Amino acid sequence: FTEQDSKVAGLALEQGKGCIIAVNKWDIVEKDGQSFVRLLDYKTGALDENKLSYNKMDELFVDPDKRYVLQMFLYSLIVEHNREYCQNSNLPIVPQLLFLRNRAAYQPIEEYNKHTAKEFENLLLKKVHAILSDTSFPMTDEARCASSFCPFHTLCNREKK
């Protein structure tokens, strides 16, 4: 923990309040003689090791329990594509989670590296392409559509009731 991390986590815990961190922390860390870009995401829940492991990359896109890893891979990919904002763009990115409820130590997502980043990016692009190109979305039948209250009535071109 840095002093700032401890203060934010401590205030939230002492007051029994939730804490929303809108901007995650990233910084350069030296450990065991190695430097890396630490990409840190704060989690308000308790640590569950099962949510931090996966067997195949595509599990991240279908298993909601793997959302923490999916989210950290996405954040890491964003940082990877915006290296000009890093002080040293050659350093490896190490995504980590900090669980505030039990003040668990930083949990690194150790599987993140250049190979897994590329695999993740390819799968992500395939998913986004599938979402954007799928034209088989069925329109809700009129009996179930409360178009007078529906915020999407302009998309289906139905008259308001």
Check pLDDT > 70 for residue 5.
no
**Residue 28 neighbours by CB under 8 Å, 6+ apart:** 35, 36, 37, 38, 86, 87, 88, 91
Distance CA 27, CA 52 (A): 22
Give the global pTM: 0.65
The pLDDT of residue 148 is: 59
The pLDDT of residue 153 is: 63
| Mean pLDDT, all residues of the chain | 77
* pLDDT-above-70 percentage for the chain: 69
Under the banding of pLDDT at 50, 70 and 90, the label for residue 85 is low
Distance CA 112, CA 63 (A): 18
CB atoms within 10 A of CB 63: 13
23 within 8 A of 8, measured Cβ to Cβ: no
> What are 44-68's pLDDT values in tens digits?
878 888 888 888 999 999 999 998 8
**Residue 12 neighbours by CB under 8 Å, 6+ apart:** 18, 19, 44, 100
> What are 105-156's pLDDT values in tens digits?
667 777 788 888 999 999 999 998 888 886 666 666 666 665 556 666 666 6
Segment 74-92 mean pLDDT = 78
The pLDDT of residue 22 is: 46
Sort 58 into a burial class: Cβ within 10 Å, 0-12 / 13-18 / 19+.
middle
Q: Where would I find the H helices in the chain? A: 3-14, 67-80, 114-133, 153-156
Check pLDDT > 80 for residue 12.
no
